[in-house]
Amino acid sequence: MEVVIKENYQEMSKLAASMIAEVVRKKPRAVLGLATGSTPLGTYQELIRMHKEQGLDFSQVVTFNLDEYIGLPPEHDQSYHYFMQENLFKHINIPPGNIHLPPGMDEDLVAACERYEQMIRDAGGIDIQLLGIGANGHIAFNEPGSSLGSRTRVKALDKKTIEDNTRFFEHIDDVPKFAITMGIGTIMDSRRVVMLANKANKAHAIAITVEGPVTALVPATIVQLHPHATIIVDQDAASELKRAYEHTPRDLTEAIAYIRRQKQSS
Ligand code: F6R
């Protein structure tokens, strides 16, 4: 597992966006796994900038989002469909048919979850999955205690999450109580995982995720078992890490460049 500590949120976001852009440039039909929340906003802004200024092409890209509330129509301003539309999709040239989020309005939810898994498989699997992390170590809506082998399914939201969301709705009854989420097993099937975290309120979760034992009580720790996982954090989110990670080479290309520089200077 690669841990990269960046100076600030902007640098973290730039690196995440450049990793995604690299995948898209190498494979125009890339399948991206996307997240909502405040953490990836900077990454999406950077991808939009790359699209507008450098022509980064999303015309063949396919996306699958991690999760969606049950019972919110896509046009609802608190739905993840709406979030993704506003913060990424409407600013880039991705065809609407290539965009997938779990269908939170489907009455046959069990079949909808199975279909989502099948659609990911039919698309050839996720090439790169972007992840945020909850302060309690959740990934997507896989809260502490979730099965580490879980697949896309319906989850009841934590009481705390429901309370926190109350401020976005007129009535408490309107606050979603359930969500569809990719499972931890689904996330682990991605070819590459990039987890982002900024701010001090994520420091503890990041320390356990990187340096603690793998446990279902902290779902994010599963990334330790992923063959190609990168965790990018800002200084604040890195503040409880005990080991030094500064010299971790970002990838093979960087390692090879390093060997070449060493050879030239010897
Ligand atoms: C959202 C998601 C969540 C968030 C996490 C962090 O699709 O999967 O697990 O990544 O709750 O949220 P923020 O980024 O708002 O701190």
Find out whether the beta carbon of 102 lies less than 6 Å from any atom of ligand 1: no
Please give the average per-residue pLDDT across 185-212, as a whole number.
Answer: 98
Find out whether the beta carbon of 138 lies less than 6 Å from any atom of ligand 1: yes
Catalytic, out of 67, 68, 189, 234:
67
Predicted confidence at residue 256, as pLDDT, reads 87
User: 180 vs 69, 100, 140, CA distance in Å?
Assistant: 6, 13, 9
137-148 pLDDT tens trace? 999 999 999 999
User: 126 vs 8, 30, 52, 107, 186, CA distance in Å?
Assistant: 28, 8, 25, 26, 9
Ligand 1 nearest atom to the CA of residue 139, by list position:
9
Q: Above 80 in pLDDT, residue 246?
A: no
Please check whether residue 20 is in contact with residue 43, taking contact to mean a CB–CB distance below 8 angstroms: yes
Find out whether the beta carbon of 140 lies less than 6 Å from any atom of ligand 1: yes
Please give the average per-residue pLDDT across 242-260, as a whole number.
Answer: 78
16-72 pLDDT tens trace? 999 999 999 999 999 999 999 999 999 999 999 999 999 999 999 999 999 999 999
Catalytic, out of 46, 68, 117, 143:
143
Q: Above 70 in pLDDT, residue 251?
A: no
Q: Above 90 in pLDDT, residue 160?
A: no
Lowest mean pLDDT among 13-27, 103-117, 137-151, 166-180: 166-180
Ligand 1 nearest atom to the CA of residue 80, by list position:
7
**Atom 11 in ligand 1: residue holding the nearest Cα:** 134
Predicted confidence at residue 258, as pLDDT, reads 86
Q: Whose structure tokens read 């090879």?
A: 256
**Contact partners, residue 162, CB within 8 Å, separation at least 6:** 175, 176, 177
Please give the average per-residue pLDDT across 229-238, as a whole number.
Answer: 97
Give 265 Cα–ligand 1 centroid separation in angstroms. 45
Give 256 Cα–ligand 1 centroid separation in angstroms. 34
Give 193 Cα–ligand 1 centroid separation in angstroms. 15
Nearest C-alpha neighbor of 28 from the set 71, 1, 62, 5? 62
pLDDT bracket for residue 235 (50, 70, 90): very high
Give the percent of the chain with pLDDT over 90: 87
Q: Above 90 in pLDDT, residue 101?
A: yes
Predicted confidence at residue 171, as pLDDT, reads 86
Give 249 Cα–ligand 1 centroid separation in angstroms. 27
What single letter denotes the amino acid at residue 60?
Q
In 44-139, beta strands by DSSP E: 62-65, 67-69, 99-100, 128-131
Q: Above 70 in pLDDT, residue 248?
A: no
Predicted confidence at residue 161, as pLDDT, reads 81
**Atom 4 in ligand 1: residue holding the nearest Cα:** 132
Give the percent of the chain with pLDDT over 70: 98
Find out whether the beta carbon of 37 lies less than 6 Å from any atom of ligand 1: yes
